[in-house]
Amino acid sequence: MSLFVSTIINKIDRKGRVSVPALWRSSLTGQGFAGVVCYPSFTTACLDGMGMDRLEKIASSLDRLDIFSPEQDEMAQLVFASARQLAFDTEGRIMVPEDLLEHAGLSAEAAFVGRGRTFQIWEPSALKKAEAEIRRRAAERRPSLHLGSGD
């Protein structure tokens, strides 16, 4: 699985179609589904996105939870019930459904934000505000990341 990196802003047309960044598309087309999976973020006004392979890993993780547990019910509802498979058209665009456009406040442009194994789709000005807040908190907290042995 390739990593999603960078932030790329693309135009959304009148029909709700937007091009997925070309580098991302090339890594996603090798999967069983030629497209992306998106669902409304349950923490902020953006869309969480990934390839089908990542969604399958989430499903496997859910299988390890008690099938009747509140945690399993909630995660299944938050991710799978609202997820949409958005196939690439011949030009590498996806058609974003109206309810997802509305959740993320998307209209003219979409910012594709790489997050490693996943990505998000933001309205560009909302992303700018969120990034400023993230950087402010990071400067305060000075987070660290442990890469493990030998890294």
- Could you tell me the domains of the chain? 7-141 (3.40.1550.20)
pLDDT in tens, 48-61: 999 999 999 999 99
Return all residues near 71 (Cβ < 8 A) that are at least 6 apart: 65
* 82, 97 contact by CB (below 8 A): no
pLDDT at 1 exceeding the cut of 70: no
pLDDT tier at 113, thresholds 50, 70, 90: very high
pLDDT at 107 exceeding the cut of 60: yes
Across residues 108-136, what is the average pLDDT?
Answer: 96
Distance, CA of 21 to CA of 54 (rounded, Å): 18
SS3 content of the chain, % helix, strand, coil (to 5): 35, 25, 35
